């Protein structure tokens, strides 16, 4: 498979060695963009050899729009097809993120109502817990990447299936550590670069499978319990008074004979919601705190707005969130400059496709490079500058909507975008009201923020210490 297919011969080649070095030295998407920029800004498309196949990497908007609108022509690749019998396929199975056609529609129909009414009390209460943790280390550097992961795991556990991981107060409890071990094992890059090694006895992942069994036991128990509550009408009551968690909403929606869903399918969706919502929002919150710590003028302006809109409240209502116009622009610009999903999960052509003077044979893998689109000088003026005003309504409306792809696009757009935005706003309001944020003078990030590698889609971050100094109001 190393031989280049005829139709891709005239697509410029991107460096496989640079990519592997970037992955193993824990470099972020900014580093990859550096070695891809020249080709992608000029051609909009490049090819790279990876895990035994030639991939198309693109920042071209025409191709991107096609991928979003012609989902039958560019379906996602199932985990079982990409990595048959792998640990990742075993844990995440078929779910709303990785499925196509009628199967995807059924999953989306069941998951969709769950994201319509979000549990504000979970966001608010977790923000208060966060403040208590920070209070204990007042005015000393605290590692924010880990702290934000603890926060987002707690929020997800409670909002998705009513389970408190309690990671903020007790980061060493067995559910937290098992969950972290499972996700760390699933993300190990070596199994993506050389998927075949998973089948060699030396690399056997039996221990990891046992850990997955433990997490699955938790999920299965909760699913069973909630199915039972459907029989007693308890679940209907929760749905009617908007206190159901996402799992309860899914179980309720799967009552519809048009969208049946087995316990196993629901479990795969729980696993993928945790994946989709955990590192992503933690990265978003960490990078925005860095931005606020290093741009005191922005921090001051955001805080002034929060104090004006919220009055004496600690956390904002949904109506108040709409009024936080400057904060919303800062959030959007942060998500442009540091997109937590730097590359969309792989699609592949379902038939032969002609694109310009190239030919993609069926099953050609295609990756949309979000980081590249967000940082391309073809689409953005001064792309490396942090300018929240880009998102003032009049500027935002004039722009092609496909150049800000933080949450993807088309019918596969992120289901949890509001979930994450609300979580970010609530957390930031509580933090900025109470604390001044700054970067220690000796920080490794003093010249620029050093991103990192989590996996092929999600952006990581090097440890980031920030100082939270209590404000005197
Ligand atoms: C800053 C935070 C987040 C970012 C940047 C993000 C980004 C994305 C992106 C780019 C996609 C499109 C994937 C594709 O087209 O292949 C997506 C899909 C999805 N996201 Fe998010 N996401 C975030 C938070 C969340 C949260 C909190 C949840 C759930 C609790 C969630 C659930 C989903 C689901 C279920 C899909 C699949 C939608 C579908 O295919 O129908 N996301 N997300």
Distance, in Å, from the CA atom of 53 to the CA atom of 337, rounded to the nearest integer, reads 30
273 lines ligand 1 (CB under 6 A): yes
Q: How far is the CA of 412 from the centre of ligand 1 (A)?
A: 9
- Ligand 1 atom nearest the C-alpha of 420 is 27
Q: How confident is the model at residue 127 (pLDDT cuts 50, 70, 90)?
A: very high
User: What is the Å distance from ligand 1's center to 66 Cα?
Assistant: 19
Task: List the structure tokens of 376.
Answer: 């391309």
Q: What interface predicted TM-score (ipTM) does this complex get? A: 0.99
pLDDT band at 307 (very low <50, low <70, confident <90, very high): very high
The region of weakest confidence among 12-16, 161-165, 181-185, 411-415 is 181-185
| Residue 1: per-residue pLDDT | 63
Helices (H), 6-119: 16-24, 29-43, 61-69, 79-82, 87-92, 101-111
C-alpha–C-alpha distance, residues 184 and 180, integer Å: 6
| Residue 274 CA, ligand 1 centroid: distance in Å | 10
Ligand 1 atom 37: the closest Cα is on which residue?
97
Instruction: Count Cβ atoms within 10 A of the Cβ of residue 116 and give its class: 0-12 exposed, 13-18 middle, 19 or more buried.
Output: exposed
Q: Which two tokens stand for residue 400?
A: 């092609």
What does the pLDDT average to over 446-461?
A: 93
The CB of 97 under 6 Å from ligand 1? The reply is yes
Mean pLDDT of 282-300: 98
Q: Average pLDDT, stretch 82-104? A: 91
Does residue 277 line the site of ligand 1, with CB under 6 A?
yes
Mean pLDDT in residue range 86-102: 92
More confident residue, 372 or 239: 372
What's the pLDDT score for residue 33? 96
**Is the Cα torsion angle 306, 309, 315, 316 positive or negative in sign?**
negative
The CA dihedral of 255, 259, 261, 267, to the nearest 10 degrees, is: -100
What would the mean pLDDT of 341-359 be, rounded to a whole number?
96
Tell me what pLDDT residue 423 has: 98
- Identify which of 390, 420, 376 has the alpha carbon closest to the alpha carbon of residue 30: 376
Pocket lining: 280 vs ligand 1, CB cutoff 6 Å: yes
Residue with tokens 């960490």: 286
Residue with tokens 């499925």: 99
| Contact 161 CB / ligand 1 (< 6 Å) | no
The tokens for 467 are 């100082």
pLDDT for 473: 66
- Looking at residue 60, its pLDDT comes to 98
State yes or no: pLDDT of 375 exceeds 80: yes
Could you tell me if 367 and 91 are in contact, meaning their C-beta atoms sit under 8 angstroms apart?
no
For ligand 1, is residue 95 a contact (CB within 6 Å)?
A: no
Neighbours of 424 (CB within 10 A): 22
For atom 27 of ligand 1, the residue with the nearest CA is 277
Question: Does 192 or 20 have the greater pLDDT score?
Answer: 20
Let me know: does 130 contact 434? Beta carbons within 8 Å: no
Q: How far out from the chain centre does Cα 238 lie?
A: 28
359 lines ligand 1 (CB under 6 A): no
DSSP for 390-449 reads: GGSHHHHHHS-GGG--TT--GGG--TTHHHHHHHHHHHHHHHHHHEEEE--TT-TTSSS-
Phi/psi region, residue 129 (left: phi>0; alpha: psi -120 to 50; beta: rest), is alpha
Mean pLDDT rounded to a whole number for the chain:
93
* Residue 154, phi then psi, degrees to nearest 5: -60, -45
Ligand 1 within 6 A of CB of 247: no
pLDDT for residue 47 is more than 80:
yes
Mutate to test the pocket of ligand 1, among 276, 288, 409, 454 (most ligand atoms within 8 A of CB): 276
- In this prediction, residue 159 carries a pLDDT of 94
Cβ(338) – ligand 1 distance below 6 Å:
no
Q: For residue 153, which of 316, 300, 277 has the smallest C-alpha distance? A: 277
Tell me, in angstroms, the distance from the centre of ligand 1 to residue 357's CA.
33
> Cα–Cα distance between 456 and 341 in angstroms, integer?
9
Band the pLDDT of 78: cuts 50, 70, 90: confident
420 lines ligand 1 (CB under 6 A): yes
Strand partners, 353: 360
Question: Which is more confident, 283 or 190?
Answer: 283
pLDDT, position 80: 84
Q: What sign for the dihedral angle of Cα 258, 66, 399, 316?
A: positive
State pTM to two decimals: 0.95
Q: What is the 62 CA–ligand 1 centroid distance (Å)? A: 22
- Give me ligand 1 centre to Cα 2, in Å: 33
Q: In what order do the strands lie in the sheet with 53-58?
A: 45-50, 53-58, 365-368, 347-348
**Which residue, by CA, sits nearest to atom 42 of ligand 1?**
416
For residue 82, name the pLDDT band (cuts at 50, 70, 90).
Answer: confident
| Rounded average pLDDT over 425-430 | 98
Mean of pLDDT values over 233-252 = 89
Poorest-pLDDT segment among 26-35, 233-242, 293-302, 366-375? 233-242
Q: Answer whether 355 contacts ligand 1 (Cβ < 6 A).
A: no
Q: Report CA(413)–ligand 1 centroid distance (Å).
A: 7
Asked if 298 and 388 touch (Cβ cutoff 8 Å), the reply is yes
Percent of the chain exceeding pLDDT 90 equals 76
Distance 273 CA to ligand 1 centre (A): 8
Pocket test for ligand 1, best of 277, 414, 460 (most atoms within 8 A of CB): 414
Work out the pLDDT band at 293, boundaries 50, 70, 90. Answer: very high
Q: 275 C-alpha vs ligand 1 centroid, how far in Å? A: 9
State residue 195's pLDDT score: 77
């Amino acid at each position: 498979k190393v031989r280049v297919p005829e139709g891709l011969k005239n697509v410029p080649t991107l460096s496989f060695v640079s990519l592997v070095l970037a992955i193993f030295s824990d470099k972020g998407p900014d580093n990859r963009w550096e070695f891809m920029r020249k080709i992608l800004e000029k051609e909009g498309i490049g090819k790279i050899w990876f895990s035994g196949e030639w991939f198309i990497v693109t920042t071209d908007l025409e191709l991107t729009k096609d991928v979003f609108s012609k989902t039958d022509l560019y379906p996602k690749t199932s985990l079982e097809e990409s990595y048959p019998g792998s640990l990742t396929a075993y844990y995440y199975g078929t779910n709303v993120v990785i499925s196509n056609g009628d199967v995807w529609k059924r999953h989306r129909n069941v998951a969709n109502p769950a994201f319509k009414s979000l549990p504000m009390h979970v966001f608010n209460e977790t923000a208060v817990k966060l403040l208590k943790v920070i209070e204990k280390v007042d005015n000393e550097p605290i590692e924010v990447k880990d702290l934000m992961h603890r926060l987002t795991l707690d929020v997800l556990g409670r909002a998705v299936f009513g389970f408190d991981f309690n990671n903020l107060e007790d980061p060493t409890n067995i559910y937290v550590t098992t969950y972290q071990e499972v996700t760390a094992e699933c993300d190990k890059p070596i199994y993506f670069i050389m998927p075949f090694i998973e089948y060699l006895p030396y690399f056997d992942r039996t221990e990891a499978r046992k850990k997955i069994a433990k997490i699955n036991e938790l999920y299965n128990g909760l699913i069973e319990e909630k199915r039972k509550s459907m029989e007693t009408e308890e679940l209907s009551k929760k749905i009617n008074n908007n206190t159901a968690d996402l799992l309860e909403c899914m179980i309720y929606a799967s009552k519809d004979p048009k969208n049946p869903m087995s316990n196993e399918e629901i479990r795969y969706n729980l696993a993928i919601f945790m994946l989709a919502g955990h590192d992503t929002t933690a990265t978003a919150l960490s990078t925005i705190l860095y931005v606020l710590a290093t741009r005191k003028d922005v921090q001051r302006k955001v805080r002034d707005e929060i104090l004006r809109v919220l009055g004496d409240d600690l956390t904002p209502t949904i109506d108040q969130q709409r009024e936080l116009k400057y904060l919303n622009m800062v959030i959007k610009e942060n998500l442009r400059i540091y997109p937590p999903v730097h590359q969309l999960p792989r699609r592949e052509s379902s038939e032969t496709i002609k694109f310009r003077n190239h030919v993609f044979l069926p099953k050609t893998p295609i990756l949309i490079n979000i980081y590249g689109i967000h940082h391309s000088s073809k689409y953005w003026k001064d792309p490396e500058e942090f300018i929240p005003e880009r998102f003032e309504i009049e500027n935002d409306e004039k722009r092609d909507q496909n150049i800000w792809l933080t949450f993807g696009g088309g019918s596969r757009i992120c289901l949890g975008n509001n979930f994450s935005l609300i979580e970010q706003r609530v957390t930031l309001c509580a933090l900025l009201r109470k604390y001044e944020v700054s970067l220690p003078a000796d920080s490794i990030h003093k010249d620029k923020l050093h991103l990192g590698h989590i996996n092929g889609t999600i952006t990581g971050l090097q440890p980031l210490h920030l100082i939270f100094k209590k404000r005197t109001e």
